[in-house]
Structure 1
């Protein structure tokens, strides 16, 4: 079974997260997939930022939704990197992309871009909101989607039921909360399961022992150490 290594916001443990520099490094290190986050700027551009505000990851302040693309481009996102738009990411790396969105507006803009540029085979859409995945699947038939199950209160069958109802093919779970029962229930339903964020050898061993299909990591070293058999 292939075990996917997913570069978390590029390789954010060694490079500024969600920057072109980080994505390039993830690809150089051989990550199977690169995960990134998209939000809409005030003027409707899809920009790569995780937080609703720019304060933590740039030298600016304020909500992403209150800043225009031009204003966002003036910010330093770390080591002189700017905040990239999604089209730049597509041109910078060739790896498959795991794109996380959190609201319907961003999902609809992303869906239009996937259709226009024929990206269904390359881009997988992820969200913690079921309705975002349902709407994406409606707009882009055949698109692959992942449900981020964030709540520790979700029981195994509940998580599996949510994923199937939303049309997701994968469930992404916090490695600190994954149980064998959940993994087995998901696999029995034909779903893949990945863990986040796997940053230590101990966590990697756990991911492999639980039978996960892949893991998101902040560090490129996990790619090389992940080739052992647990």
Structure 2
């Protein structure tokens, strides 16, 4: 049994501190841990598939080049987003949701990436994928985005899903007058912003999701300030720092 205390721990892009980000291995290793869940990013391929990928270009994390939205899913599958010793294929969202069926207690936070040449289509296709999987009303699925339009879309079209509006300092300046336009269930300031603007903690009674929390000092700050959810590249460090370990392990220390 997991001893629950402090913020909920979400593995940012999977267990990306130990494995190539957003790969099956990164997600599998994260899901094995006694944490709240995982976070992923999604984009559309040229042929309209919802792919699990962060950057607009494939060059940083694969052995290929080009924009994700200029490549068909079959082309993306030919790329290696892992290592030479352990090659990995780019996943589509359907595959990640299938993987999570083996972990019914785990949550997933899906960030739809904006801006994109496809506009709102990435949100629409993501919701279609969730509907097809029977997860469009699941309390274990959360949608996060820097786009007010995206958050508002999910709030209106899938009101059962919990949504978080993400922002950094520049996004808050741009959206100062309309920060609540998207009617999110929670706010997702970057950690540095949250530490500078502590009034955002529990802003208007909403939940607080912050990222990316990678040091024990940052993790303890979040716990001391009642942050609801933290996204981290090192969920194992978060578990150890926050004491969120199985009771049997606690008893044995």
Q: TM-score, normalised by structure 2?
A: 0.82
Q: Provide Cα deviations, 1:24-60, integer angstroms capped at 9, x if missing partner.
A: 1111122212000000000000111000000001111
Residue of structure 2 in register with 1:85 after alignment: 92
Q: Map 1:1-230; keep pairs closer than 5 Å.
A: 3-79=7-83, 80-93=87-100, 94=103, 95-103=106-114, 104-119=120-135, 120-121=137-138, 122-152=140-170, 154=172, 158=176, 162=179, 164-178=180-194, 179-184=197-202, 186=203, 189-219=204-234, 220-227=236-243
> Structure 1 stretches of 5 or more lacking a match?
none
Q: Provide Cα deviations, 1:159-218, integer angstroms capped at 9, x if missing partner.
A: 8x62x431211111111121321215x1xx220012211110111122122221121100
Is the 2:97–2:133 contact (alpha carbons within 8 Å) kept by the matching residues of 1? no
After superposition, the Cα gap between the structure-2 partners of 1:152 and 1:208, relative to the gap in structure 1 and judged at 3 Å, is: farther
> Structure 2 stretches of 5 or more lacking a match?
115-119, 245-253
Q: Secondary structure of the residue that 1:177 maps to in structure 2? A: helix
> After TM superposition, which residue ranges in structure 1, 4 or more long, deviate above 4 angstroms?
none
User: For the residues of structure 2 that align with 1:141 and 1:68, how far apart are their CA atoms?
Assistant: 31
Larger RCO (alpha carbons 8 Å, 6+ apart): 2
Q: Return the offset for 1:140.
A: 1.7
Q: TM-score, normalised by structure 1?
A: 0.90
User: For the residues of structure 2 that align with 1:199 and 1:17, how far apart are their CA atoms?
Assistant: 15
Is the 1:194–1:214 contact (alpha carbons within 8 Å) kept by the matching residues of 2? yes
Q: Return the offset for 1:153.
A: 6.7
Is the 2:51–2:93 contact (alpha carbons within 8 Å) kept by the matching residues of 1? yes
Q: Return the offset for 1:151.
A: 2.7
